[in-house]
Amino acid sequence: MVPTLLGRIQTRLFLLAVVGGVVTLVLAPVLPIPGGWGDHYRETFIVLATVAVLGVAWECVYHLLMQWRWEKDWPTLFALVTLVPEGLLVWLLLRAGHVPGAGPPVLAAFLWHFTAVWIAVWLVAQGPMRVPFIRWRFHGGRLL
């Protein structure tokens, strides 16, 4: 799929909610986070929401960068490695206490959770997404 700006944003929000949501539901209980299951879910879903909210801004940046590419494409690899700057930003914000509602972060839990969500979302966007949404790839990733 070669994205348009609107398509990027819609795809990100949808996949984070659905795929990211499922991965978080499954993974959260086993992550090394202090407190009970409720705390696990609260912390991880806050991280997920942060990735989604910041993601809208990130997508605008990616869209801008893409303008320098003749083909106006966004290679698979870029979609994967953007995990690094995005993860780093979320982590820094968590550590600085700038994420509303989040407690003090645990690095190992964050790394496991963030990476698992990212890779799952990335994998689904590489192909399986086309199965239920047959128009998606021809519409720049738009779902609506």
Partner 1 sequence: MIASEGTLLDETRVYDDLGRQPGPQDLPPDLEASDWWSDEMVREAGLPVTDVPFVSVGGGIGSFVTVDYLRIAGVPPEDIRVLSNLDRPWRTYEYLTRVSQIPRAERIRSDSASRPDNVWGFPSYALTEAIRTRSARPLWQVLREPDFADFYTPRLGMVLTGMEREAARIRYWDMLDTGQVRTVRRRWGGGYFTVLAVNEPGGPSRMVAYRSWFVHLAVGYAGLKFLPELRQFRDTSDFHRVVNAYEDHEHVYTALRQRTGRVLIRGSGIVASRVSERLISERKRHGLQTEIVHLFRTYVEGAHGPHPWSRRAGGDGFAYQGFNYPKSVWGGQLKARARRSEGRDRARIYAEIGGTNTAYRRHWQRQLREGKNGGWYRSLAGTMGDLQQGPDGRLRAYVDSDSSRVELCADYVIDCTGLDGDITSHRVINDLLRHANAGRNPIGRLDVSRAFEVRGAASGDGRIYASGAATLGGYFPGVDTFLGLQIAAQEIQEDLARMGFGNRIGPARSLREWWRWLRDRPI
Determine which residue in the list 96, 104, 135, 144 makes contact with partner 1, applying CB under 8 A. 135
- For residue 11, the tally of other CB atoms under 10 A from its CB is 23
Considering only 9-17, 49-57, 86-94, 122-130, which stretch makes contact with partner 1 by CB under 8 A?
Answer: 122-130
Check binding of 73 to partner 1 (CB under 8 A): yes
Residue 106, judged by CB atoms within 10 A of its CB (0-12, 13-18, 19+), counts as: middle
Q: Could you tell me if 45 and 114 are in contact, meaning their C-beta atoms sit under 8 angstroms apart?
A: no
Determine which residue in the list 18, 30, 61, 72 makes contact with partner 1, applying CB under 8 A. 72
Q: Who's near 45: CB < 8 A, 6+ residues apart?
A: 24, 28
Beta strand spans in the chain (E):
none
Considering only 9-17, 50-58, 66-74, 109-117, which stretch makes contact with partner 1 by CB under 8 A?
Answer: 66-74
* Site for partner 1, rule CB under 8 A: 1-5, 7, 66-68, 70-77, 80, 127-128, 130-135, 137-140
